[in-house]
Structure 1
Amino acid sequence: MLRGHFECILDDKGRIKIPSKFLETLRGSGVNTLVMTFFDQSIYAYPKNTWEELESKALNLPLTNKSARRFKRMFFSSAIDVNLDSQGRITIPQILRQLANIEKNIVVLGNLDHIELWSSQNWLQEMDLLRQDEDKLAQEIESLGIKL
């Protein structure tokens, strides 16, 4: 599982080094390719096999459902494969950096089956919103069957 919170710096070539904790998990599972997409003001990076499972599920979404069509259009249209280099770095494509407002300072989060890349500014805003909605969020999560 991917979990934790790390701060990274984007280099001049648009690369970051994947935090060693995540790299261990990814390489230990035989992952060398991540699929990155823009979602929720950040970049989601999935191991290739996890991404393929998502694609399979998305194929079964009904074409007649407008929300399903819009989700697939948004989520899959910005998807780009990136390879881990020998030093554990990935290059973040320019279009995804622009969409996520990433310039230099990046917050890298483990979110169980994927990694999220946030601009430091967007992450601080997200944390403020999470703190403001903490009670409401806890109630919503409980309704999904998870008691905190």
Structure 2
Amino acid sequence: MNRFLSNATNRIDAKGRVSVPSAFRSVLSQRDIRELYCFQDFLFPAISVGGLDLLDRFERQIAGEDVLSPKANRMSLLIHGGGVFMKLDAEGRLAVTDFIRDYTGITTEVTFVGRADHFQLWAPQSFEAQQAAARQEFRSKGLGSG
């Protein structure tokens, strides 16, 4: 598997760390991602996590704009001003910092959500509510898999 799929909820330990699900650690290893680029998602109360390729993709979009344009500046505010680099510890745990907690509302548990080329960190109740709303929207508009 070379995609981040599914979701899992893990408890934060007494030292403020959470174990990244083994399936996600496996994808990180397969993609040779050692340093995690983490940024505050543009739409959801979640932290998006990926490798340098994720940051590079955003920076290519910025480079395609006039560097002084409002669009390029807003994008930089979001991806640079709302981003940090993090690493997993030797046991595959991630420190749940104030950067993560303040933006997501995470307290005692983290829901890891696969998003194909990256994953996200959510407060469990926020993820459940947003996923239910998305499912309901698809059902009400008849947007099935066909």
Shorter-chain TM-score range:
0.7 to 0.9
Are the aligned partners of 1:107 and 1:120 in contact in 2 as well (CA < 8 Å)? Answer: yes
**Alignment size in residue pairs:** 141
CA RMSD of aligned residues (A): 2.3
**% identical aligned pairs:** 20
Q: Which residue number in structure 1 is paired with residue 54 of structure 2?
A: 50
**Aligned partners of 1:53 and 1:67: how far apart in 2?**
15
Q: How far does the alpha carbon of each residue in 1:37-93 deviate from its partner, in whole angstroms, 9 at most, with x for none?
A: 111210100112332233233332345654553233123212110012211111132
Q: Which residue number in structure 1 is paired with residue 80 of structure 2?
A: 76
Compute the TM-score of the two structures, normalised by the length of structure 2: 0.82
Matched ranges for 1:1-148 at <5 A = 1-39=3-41, 40-63=44-67, 66-135=70-139, 136=141, 138=143, 148=146
| SS of equivalent residue, structure 2 residue 48 | strand
Instruction: Report the AA paired with residue 35 of structure 1.
Output: Y
Are the aligned partners of 2:10 and 2:110 in contact in 1 as well (CA < 8 Å)? Answer: yes
Instruction: Report the AA paired with residue 55 of structure 1.
Output: E
Greater helix share, structure number = 1
What are structure 1's unaligned runs of at least 5 residues? Answer: 140-146
